[in-house]
């Protein structure tokens, strides 16, 4: 079933807080691809691909715009002001369940217990011995229906607590440390670099690996397009995939060499980047990495209904 642009926008309208980027005509020569994403560690392959000329060699003119959230990026993709965006997988799955025609063409970041990029933090001096002691307390997430909120709920329930008794409030990740210090929240799940910054401040401590309650391995975020764009630009999408994975093969194994590159774009301090667990991109879009997110999202009311993970994965995505 073909979904109109207006219907798609309505399907995720509640998440669209920012205006769309201005449209731009394509010119002759290398295929221009406009990308947008929040300035997290998992954009490093894009930065390196630009820096090393990998996209240029693939006949692509890749530009990257920083947007503050996955929902803003989704709005720009649906509106056609960018071609390829990066967003949290749970947001993409929720949009898909509402009929928004997104397709994941490449992995952005993978969570594994061996490379734990997220965790639940509490105040440094907090007297919280176990998860059950969070019952009746207030915790935060950057959005009440984001991956951090779902992971926190799953982690509390998996460790003897009752997430239904816990009050969730929205606090930006950058403000969590202050909220902990002021006693406004008992804890929060954070993802690097916010996790590294909170722990590095000396005002927070790690209580547990909350993402592991979703699965020992799952996709955190992905690069996505609309079905309509993909149908008209299959060759460009394939070339993007090949170039992106070539860049990711380098960045996944050369973290020290990419510190300055990420710092110059994201404005993170090099010391923060050096001290944090770096994102791992992965080599494929595996339905098995998507399924745990769908299941957790449905369980905690973020995703309206379950669906086969393969539905949201583009046929050209690396398998």
Name which of 214, 266, 235 is nearest 89 in CA terms.
214
Tokens of 85: 């965006």
Angle at 78 between CA 77 and CA 80, to 5 degrees: 65
Residue 99 zone, left/alpha/beta (φ > 0; ψ -120 to 50; rest):
left
> Angle 287-299/147-158 helices, nearest 10 degrees?
80
Q: Is the peptide bond before 6 cis (omega within 30 degrees of 0)?
A: no
> Angle 44-51/234-251 helices, nearest 10 degrees?
100
Question: For residue range 159-211, what is the model confidence (pLDDT) as tens digits?
Answer: 999 999 999 999 999 999 999 999 999 999 999 989 999 999 999 999 999 99
Question: For residue range 107-147, what is the model confidence (pLDDT) as tens digits?
Answer: 999 999 999 999 999 999 998 889 999 999 999 999 989 99
> Is the confidence at residue 235, as pLDDT, over 80?
yes
User: Cα separation of 124 and 244, whole Å?
Assistant: 39
For residue 100, the number of C-alpha atoms closer than 13 Å in the C-beta half-sphere is 27
> Is the confidence at residue 292, as pLDDT, over 90?
yes
Look-up: residue for tokens 């996505």? 224
Taking all residues of the chain, what is their mean pLDDT, rounded to a whole number? 90
Query: For residues 213 and 18, which has the higher predicted lDDT (pLDDT)?
Result: 213
Angle at 111 between CA 166 and CA 51, to 5 degrees: 125
Coil, strand or helix: which one is 19?
coil
Q: From the centroid of its chain, how far is CA 164? A: 25
The CATH number of 118-213 is 3.40.190.10
Per-residue pLDDT, 228 = 97
Read off φ and ψ for residue 272, nearest 5 degrees: -65, -45
Look-up: residue for tokens 């929205």? 170
User: Cα separation of 74 and 37, whole Å?
Assistant: 10
**Strand pairing category for 187-191 and 31-37:** unpaired
CATH 3.40.190.10 in the chain, residue ranges: 5-113+217-312, 118-213
Look-up: residue for tokens 């798609």? 8
Q: Which residues contact 29 (CB under 8 A, 6 or more apart)?
A: 61
Check if the beta carbon of residue 138 is closer than 8 Å to that of residue 190.
no
The fold of the 5-113+217-312 domain, in CATH, is D-Maltodextrin-Binding Protein; domain 2 (3.40.190)
**Claim: this prediction has a pTM higher than 0.85:** yes
Q: From the centroid of its chain, how far is CA 33? A: 20
| DSSP code at position 142 | S
Q: Which residues contact 281 (CB under 8 A, 6 or more apart)?
A: 42, 45, 107, 108, 109, 110, 245, 248, 251, 252
Q: What pLDDT band is residue 39 in, cutting at 50, 70 and 90?
A: confident
- DSSP H or E stretch at residue 18: none
Per-residue pLDDT, 17 = 32
Which of 1-10, 63-72, 257-266 is least confident?
A: 1-10
- DSSP H or E stretch at residue 198: helix 194-200
Coil, strand or helix: which one is 234?
helix
């Amino acid at each position: 079933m073909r979904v109109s642009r207006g219907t798609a926008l309505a399907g995720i309208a509640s998440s669209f807080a920012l205006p769309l980027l201005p449209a731009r005509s394509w010119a002759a020569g290398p295929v221009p691809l406009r990308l947008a994403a929040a300035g997290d560690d998992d954009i490093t392959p894009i930065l390196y691909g630009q820096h090393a000329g990998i996209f240029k060699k693939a006949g692509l003119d890749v530009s990257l715009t920083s947007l503050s959230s996955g929902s803003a990026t989704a709005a720009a993709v649906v509106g056609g002001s960018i071609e390829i965006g990066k967003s949290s997988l749970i947001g993409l799955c929720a949009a898909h369940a509402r009929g928004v025609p997104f397709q994941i063409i490449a992995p952005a970041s993978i969570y594994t217990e061996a490379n734990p990029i997220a965790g639940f933090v509490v105040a440094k001096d907090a007297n919280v011995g176990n998860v059950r002691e969070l019952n009746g307390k207030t915790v935060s997430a950057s959005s009440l229906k984001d991956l951090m909120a779902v992971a926190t709920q799953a982690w509390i329930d998996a460790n003897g607590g009752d997430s239904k008794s816990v009050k969730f409030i929205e606090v930006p990740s950058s403000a969590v440390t202050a909220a902990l210090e002021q006693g406004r929240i008992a804890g929060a799940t954070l993802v690097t670099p916010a996790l590294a910054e909170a722990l590095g401040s000396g005002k927070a401590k790690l209580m547990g690996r909350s993402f592991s309650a979703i699965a020992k391995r799952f996709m955190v975020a992905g690069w996505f397009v609309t079905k309509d764009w993909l149908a008209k630009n299959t060759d460009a999408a394939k070339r993007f995939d090949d170039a992106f994975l070539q860049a990711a093969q380098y960045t996944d194994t050369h973290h020290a060499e990419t510190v300055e590159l990420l710092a110059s774009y994201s404005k993170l301090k090099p010391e923060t980047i050096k001290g944090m667990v770096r994102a791992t991109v992965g080599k494929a879009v595996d339905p098995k990495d998507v399924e745990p997110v769908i299941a957790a999202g449905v369980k905690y009311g973020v995703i309206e209904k379950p669906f086969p993970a393969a539905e949201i994965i583009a046929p050209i995505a690396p398998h």
